[in-house]
């Protein structure tokens, strides 16, 4: 199939293509020539069951899969009771580390390879679910090196060409996790559609025991998921187009379907996160926030995220000793949502010129009157709105200096961000030249020291 690009897209595409390496590729869209620009997006959403009490159905779900022996991560009473009610045998792995380091993941992988289950059940937050996904993946590849499936350029991003064991996830927080590579002092991820659970049981009852700080940090992750996917480059601006649909990345840029989910998630998060944090008995707010996390997951699952998440990985990985309040751990920890949100005001000031209308629409969700707003001020307006939101939310580090970082740390943080190419590729108005990228990232971090 040959696609003819509309003239307005052609001129933008042609100008950008001139800056791409190996720019010998011609972009003569009016002449019906092949173009390297993407022309399609693909949405692969999880099966989700949402509602109070759906945890009790998990035993029947595994019985319906003819599963007899099961692994359950960090089990809760309702999940275990549901399994036992259906005669499902299970083994428990509970040594999951919050914000897992590679050493903890390797321990879980070794356990999974020895246990060789028929299926997996993950009950917990993003760290638990990610540990379960990774254990399932590497159990299917017993000879794989740990970096084989880690995203490039840190790892090899090996393709998953086997069918993995069934995995059902029961989230107990409203965020996601990542992988901390100790030797590299950086966080990254493993992204592939094969890792998606066959079913997510999203039960608001499971979030009621979350401490306020955990609600806050996980909700901030949802906030940035929705904002970043809403403002990511359009899917048709991504190059190169894959030579085979199987090679199309999980994160593809903003698209008409992701837009619907991301924007609705943003509205729910802005409205209900403050309520959820302030009042542990506000069950409506908790339910709406978990719904927001579900919607945002569908949105960024195809659109992807960009600078906030790219910066968050070295911010967490290079932690200088900060331990966030509300987390009952005996080691330094910057929760993922905190590390993502701490640069958000300045990130969206930077991305504002790429799509003023989207940034103003997001600012309006925060309560800003945009009737007389000027397009050239869109980034500043949204950045200010986010900063005010974080300040009013309370108990947040308002800048990376509150995490212990100084100007002297910025070059290292930049170098830790640059390898996150799978998401930096989705940054609007980002330069292809690496020196310019360093300059832009450095300015964002410097402006994020305090606000």
For the chain, the residue count is 451
Which of 202, 232, 261 is the last residue in one of the domains?
202
Q: How far apart are CA 303 and CA 238, in angstroms?
A: 11
Q: Enumerate the β-bridge partners of residue 167.
A: 120
Which of 148, 179, 202 is the last residue in one of the domains?
202
Q: How far apart are CA 42 and CA 246, in angstroms?
A: 10
Give the DSSP H or E segment for 72: strand 69-73
Strand pairing of 186-188 and 167-171?
A: unpaired
> Domain of 14?
1-37
**CATH number for the domain harbouring residue 359:** 1.20.1090.10
Q: Enumerate the β-bridge partners of residue 91.
A: 71
Q: Count the Cβ atoms, other than its own, within 10 Å of residue 9.
A: 15
Six-digit token pair at 57?
């159905």
Residue at 42 is within a domain: no
- Beta strands across the sheet bearing 167-171: 48-50, 199-202, 167-171, 119-124, 69-73, 89-93
Digits of tens for pLDDT over the chain (451 positions)?
333 333 333 333 333 333 333 333 334 343 333 467 888 888 777 788 888 988 889 999 988 888 776 665 444 678 888 989 999 988 888 888 877 778 888 999 999 999 999 999 998 888 888 899 999 999 999 998 888 888 777 778 788 888 899 999 988 775 554 555 544 555 566 767 778 888 988 888 888 778 888 889 999 999 999 999 999 999 999 888 888 887 888 899 999 999 999 999 999 999 999 999 999 899 999 999 999 999 999 999 899 999 999 999 999 989 999 999 888 788 899 999 999 999 999 999 999 999 999 999 999 999 999 999 999 999 999 999 999 999 999 989 999 999 999 999 999 999 999 988 889 999 998 887 899 999 999 999 999 999 8
Q: Are residues 420 and 348 in the same domain?
A: yes
The phi and psi torsions of 381 (rounded to 5 degrees) equal -65, -45
Q: Are residues 163 and 244 in the same domain?
A: no
Cis before 114 (ω within 30)? no
Q: What's the confidence (pLDDT) of residue 75?
A: 45
Give the DSSP H or E segment for 200: strand 199-202
Residue at 47 is within a domain: no
Q: How far apart are CA 276 and CA 271, in angstroms?
A: 9
The phi and psi torsions of 323 (rounded to 5 degrees) equal -125, 115
Q: Which residue, chain included where needed, has tokens 């926030």?
A: 289
Q: How far apart are CA 325 and CA 12, in angstroms?
A: 47
Q: Are residues 107 and 9 in the same domain?
A: no
Q: How far apart are CA 115 and CA 269, in angstroms?
A: 39
Residue at 46 is within a domain: no
Q: Are residues 8 and 91 in the same domain?
A: no
Q: How far apart are CA 426 and CA 191, in angstroms?
A: 15
Q: Are residues 314 and 441 in the same domain?
A: yes
Q: How far apart are CA 382 and CA 364, in angstroms?
A: 8
If one counts the domains in the chain, the total is: 3
Q: What share of the chain is helix, strand, coil (3-state, %, to 5)?
A: 50, 10, 40
Q: What's the confidence (pLDDT) of residue 7?
A: 34
Strand pairing of 199-202 and 69-73?
A: unpaired
Q: Which of 280, 281, 171 shows the shortest CA–CA distance to 218?
A: 171
Q: How far apart are CA 215 and CA 387, in angstroms?
A: 18
Q: How far apart are CA 48 and CA 190, in angstroms?
A: 22
Q: Are residues 441 and 416 in the same domain?
A: yes
Strand pairing of 69-73 and 48-50?
A: unpaired
Q: Are residues 265 and 378 in the same domain?
A: yes
Q: Are residues 335 and 264 in the same domain?
A: yes
Q: How far apart are CA 187 and CA 192, in angstroms?
A: 17
Query: 413 Cβ partners below 8 Å, 6+ apart?
Result: 311, 314, 315, 318, 400, 405, 441, 445
Strand pairing of 186-188 and 179-181?
A: antiparallel
The alpha carbon of residue 374 and the mean position of all alpha carbons in its chain are separated, in whole angstroms, by 31
Residue at 122 is within a domain: yes
Q: How far apart are CA 3 and CA 450, in angstroms?
A: 47
Strand pairing of 48-50 and 89-93?
A: unpaired
Q: Are residues 109 and 171 in the same domain?
A: yes
Which of 179, 202, 225 is the last residue in one of the domains?
202
**CATH number for the domain harbouring residue 114:** 3.40.50.1970
Six-digit token pair at 428?
């609007």
Residue at 43 is within a domain: no
Q: Count the Cβ atoms, other than its own, within 10 Å of residue 389.
A: 22
The alpha carbon of residue 391 and the mean position of all alpha carbons in its chain are separated, in whole angstroms, by 23
Q: Enumerate the β-bridge partners of residue 188.
A: 179
Q: Are residues 271 and 411 in the same domain?
A: yes
HSE-CB for 304 with a 13 A CA cutoff: 30
Query: 149 Cβ partners below 8 Å, 6+ apart?
Result: 137, 138, 141, 155, 156, 157, 158, 160, 190, 192
Residue at 207 is within a domain: no
Q: How far apart are CA 318 and CA 139, in angstroms?
A: 29
Q: Are residues 141 and 216 in the same domain?
A: no
Longest Cα pair distance anywhere in the chain, in angstroms? 65
Q: Are residues 227 and 299 in the same domain?
A: yes
Residue at 44 is within a domain: no
Residue at 386 is within a domain: yes
């Amino acid at each position: 199939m040959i696609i003819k690009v509309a003239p307005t897209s052609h001129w933008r595409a042609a100008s950008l293509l001139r800056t791409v390496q190996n720019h010998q590729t011609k972009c003569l869209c009016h002449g019906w020539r092949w173009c390297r620009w993407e022309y399609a997006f693909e949405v692969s959403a999880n099966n989700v069951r949402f509602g109070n009490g759906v945890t009790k159905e998990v035993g029947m779900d595994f019985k319906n899969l003819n599963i007899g022996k099961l692994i359950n991560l960090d089990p809760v009473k309702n999940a275990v009771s549901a399994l036992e009610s259906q005669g499902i045998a299970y083994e428990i792995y509970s040594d999951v580390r919050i914000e897992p380091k590679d050493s903890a993941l390797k321990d879980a992988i070794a356990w999974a390879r020895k246990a060789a289950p028929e299926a997996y059940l993950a009950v917990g937050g993003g760290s638990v679910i990610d540990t379960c996904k990774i254990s399932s993946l590497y159990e299917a590849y017993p000879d794989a090196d740990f970096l084989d499936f880690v995203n490039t350029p840190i790892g090899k991003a090996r393709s998953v060409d086997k069918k993995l064991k069934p995995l059902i996830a029961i989230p107990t927080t409203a965020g996601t996790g990542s992988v901390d590579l100790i030797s590299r002092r950086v966080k990254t991820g493993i992204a592939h559609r094969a890792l998606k659970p066959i079913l997510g049981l999203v039960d608001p009852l499971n979030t009621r025991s979350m401490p306020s700080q955990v609600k806050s940090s996980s909700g901030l992750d949802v906030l940035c998921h929705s904002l970043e996917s809403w403002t990511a480059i359009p899917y048709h601006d991504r190059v190169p187009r894959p030579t085979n649909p199987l090679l199309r990345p999980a994160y593809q840029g903003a698209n008409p379907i992701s837009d619907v989910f991301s924007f609705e998630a943003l509205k729910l998060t802005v409205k209900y996160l403050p309520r959820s944090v302030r009042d542990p008995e506000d069950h409506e707010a908790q339910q709406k926030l978990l719904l927001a996390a579900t919607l945002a997951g569908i949105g960024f699952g195809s659109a992807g995220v960009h600078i906030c998440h790219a910066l968050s990985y070295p911010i967490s990985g290079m932690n200088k000793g900060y331990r966030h309040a509300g987390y009952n751990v005996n080691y330094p920890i910057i929760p993922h949502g905190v590390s993502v949100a701490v640069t958000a005001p300045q990130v969206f000031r930077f991305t504002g010129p790429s799509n003023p209308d989207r940034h103003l629409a997001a600012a309006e969700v925060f309560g800003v009157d945009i009737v007389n707003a000027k397009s050239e001020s869109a980034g500043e307006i949204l950045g200010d709105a986010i900063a005010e939101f974080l300040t009013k939310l309370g108990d947040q580090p308002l800048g990376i200096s509150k995490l212990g970082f100084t100007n002297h740390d910025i070059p290292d943080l930049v170098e830790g961000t640059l390898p996150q190419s799978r998401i930096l590729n989705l940054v609007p108005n980002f330069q292809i030249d690496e020196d310019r990228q360093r300059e832009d990232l450095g300015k964002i971090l410097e402006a994020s020291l305090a606000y």
